[in-house]
Amino acid sequence: MRFHSRPFLAVYASLAMTLICQLCPTAKAQSAELAATPPMGWNSWNHFAEKVTDADVRAAADAMVSSGMRDAGYIYVNVDDSWEAQRDAQGNIHSNSKFPDMKALGDYVHSKGLKFGIYSSPGPKTCGGYEGSYRHEQQDANTYASWGVDFLKYDLCSYMDIMKLHDPSQDPHQAQVMMQEAYSKMHEALVNTHRPIVYSLCQYGVDSVWEWGPQVGGNMWRTTDDIRDNYGSMALIGFSQAGLEKFAGPGHWNDPDMLEIGNGGMTADQYRTQMSLWAILSAPLLAGNDLSKIDDTTKNILINKEVIAVDQDKRGIQGSRIGPPQIWMKPLSDGSKAVALFNFVTDDEAEPLTLKFKDVGFSGPVHVRDLWAHKDLGVLYDSYTVTVPQGGVVMLRIWQ
Ligand code: GAL
């Protein structure tokens, strides 16, 4: 089941872009070291949606270790929507029959050297219609902490109905204020648990969340509506991140949604595009496939350590589009630059694309390494022309 009231948010998306959060003076980011680099891990939603079970999550944790993903940096194992049951007489949230014992599941995940994530909503109901945290924020945060939760995705969902109760024509800022207040409230509840919990805001980017996300304690915030496992959706979301660079940095990241790599709706070239673009964007890398059935092609894409190193670079600069048609560049902490040449054209053709080194700030000879071929291309002068498959990418690291 999905929540269908999002068009309502369009009203708010057009409201003031620069509202400063006045509601959350104590809601400082839970600390930059929690998400010093973009969080990496796995989330149940893209593949399992509401069918996910305790056994699936344990299998994902097992596979994160056996596949080498954990050692490549994928740490969080996140249960998305549909784990929730009702509250008891004391108001404590319980998990449903698919998840018999959340504490035991958290312990299992931790025993593998991984961290445990969960999902809720500031509204009375989640997007799947399960129990949300409305008016139970501190109680839920305490429960999560007692289960060993290390990551919370907090999804606006039915809180939109609460916001709707306030007529925007009477006070256009009211809904924005309420939304920020709701996110701030859960952040304070998480801080009160004294457990470090990465806080992931999910409200589809409305009201320019990147402008106030850090002030309500967000370590990352979704910038768009949901990704789908097809090239059009992925490319639209990924390439539309241009312009948001200045809002990302250590402790607080733009989140263009989770990875679809390995889910079957795109070609390997197109999945390499998602991995490369997300790395250039310093985006969180949350795999969304069935890790227990991961194949070698998927593994080689998700565990390309040279591409992961671009994503996880400690300077935390989000890369930007530098020129036609889709050439993107991210400066790295050692002075080198990651450059991705995307073949974004929609016909079936492989295209020769040319990078002029001066366009990414180099004059004179440069060293170039191809991060998907894992190959040094030697010292090059002026420019590099390479044929890029349709929907695919060539990703380079360049230094002098
Ligand atoms: C959506 C969210 C998805 C997923 C889903 C669960 O709102 O964007 O990523 O969490 O809810 O119901």
Q: Are residues 344 and 278 in the same domain?
A: no
Are residues 54 and 160 both part of a single domain? yes
Pairing of strands 320-323, 351-356: unpaired
What is d(CA 223, CA 9) in angstroms, rounded to the nearest whole number? 14
- Check residue 311 and report its DSSP letter: H
Contacts for 346 with CB less than 8 Å, ≥ 6 apart:
none
Q: Does residue 259 form part of some domain?
A: yes
* Confidence (pLDDT) at 31: 58
**What's the rounded Cα separation, in Å, for the pair 315 and 37?**
9
363 exposed, middle or buried (CB, 10 Å; 0-12, 13-18, 19+)? exposed
The span from the CA of 79 to the CA of 51, in Å, is 11
Among residues 318, 345, 377, which one ends one of the domains?
A: 318
- pLDDT given at position 345: 72
Q: Collapsing DSSP states into helix, strand and coil, what is residue 217?
A: coil
Is the minimum distance from the CB of 202 to ligand 1 under 6 angstroms? yes
Whether 349 and 238 share a structural domain: no
Q: Is 87 part of a structural domain of the chain?
A: yes
Res 346: pLDDT? 65
Number of domains making up the chain: 2
Residue 126 main-chain phi, psi, to 5 deg: -80, 180
Is the distance from the beta carbon of residue 155 to the nearest atom of ligand 1 less than 6 Å?
A: yes
What domain range includes position 221? Answer: 9-318
CA distance 268 to 386: 18
Judged on CB neighbours under 10 Å (0-12, 13-18, 19+), 264 is exposed
Q: pLDDT tens digit string along 141-195?
A: 999 999 999 999 999 999 999 988 765 566 767 888 999 999 999 999 999 999 9
**What CATH number is given to the structural domain containing 365?**
2.60.40.1180
**pTM for this entry:** 0.92
| pLDDT value for 168 | 59
Kindly state whether residue 208 falls inside one of the protein's structural domains.
yes
- 228 and 339: one domain? no
Please identify, among 318, 336, 370, the residue that sits at the C-terminal boundary of a domain: 318
CA distance 279 to 100: 36
Measured distance between the N- and C-terminal CA atoms of the chain, rounded to whole angstroms: 53
CA distance 261 to 271: 5
pLDDT, residue 27, reads: 39
Residue 389 falls inside a structural domain: yes
Task: Answer yes or no: is the C-beta of 84 below 6 A from any ligand 1 atom.
Answer: no
Q: Does one domain contain both 351 and 268?
A: no
In a domain, 3, yes or no: no
Looking at the fold, whether 249 and 349 belong to one and the same domain comes out as no
Question: Using omega within 30 degrees of 0 as the cis cutoff, is the peptide bond preceding 325 cis?
Answer: yes
Catalytic residue positions, numbered: 155, 226
160 Cβ inside 6 Å of ligand 1: no
Residue closest to 10 by CA, chosen among 237, 228, 205, 226: 205
List alpha helices for 213-267, DSSP H.
231-239
Give the span between the Cα atoms of 320 and 360, in whole angstroms: 11
Decide if 1 is inside a domain. no
Closest C-alpha among 107, 131, 111, 108 to residue 121: 131
Residues 306 and 336 in one domain: no
C-beta of residue 226 within 8 angstroms of C-beta of residue 259 = no
**Do 333 and 303 sit in the same domain of this protein?**
no
CA atoms within 13 A on the CB side of 131: 16
Q: Name the domain boundary from 318, 349, 380.
A: 318
267 and 335: one domain? no
Ligand 1 and 255: CB distance under 6 A: no
Nearest to 81 by CA among 118, 123, 111, 106: 118
- Which of 48, 151, 155 is the pocket-test mutation for ligand 1 (most atoms within 8 Å of CB)? 155
- Distance, in Å, from the CA atom of 319 to the CA atom of 311, rounded to the nearest integer, reads 10
pLDDT in tens, 8-21: 343 333 333 333 33
pLDDT (0 to 100) of residue 119: 99
The torsion angle over the Cα atoms of residues 308, 312, 315 and 320, rounded to 10 degrees, is 60
Q: Are residues 73 and 191 both part of a single domain? A: yes
Q: Are residues 365 and 264 in the same domain?
A: no
- Residue 68: give its domain's CATH number: 3.20.20.70
Residue 164: the pLDDT is 82
Instruction: At 342, list the tokens.
Output: 């995307």
Residues 237 and 350 in one domain: no
For ligand 1, atom 3, name the residue with the nearest CA: 226
Query: Looking at ligand 1, which residue's alpha carbon is closest to its atom 11?
Result: 127
User: Do the beta carbons of residue 237 and residue 227 sit within 8 Å?
Assistant: yes
Residue 155's beta-bridge partner residues? 202
Tokens of 162: 């609460």
Q: Which atom of ligand 1 is nearest to the CA of 126?
A: 12
* Residues lower than pLDDT 70 in the chain: 1-32, 166-170, 172, 346-347
Ligand 1 mean position, distance from CA 358 (Å):
42
Indicate whether 255 belongs to any domain. Answer: yes
In a domain, 195, yes or no: yes
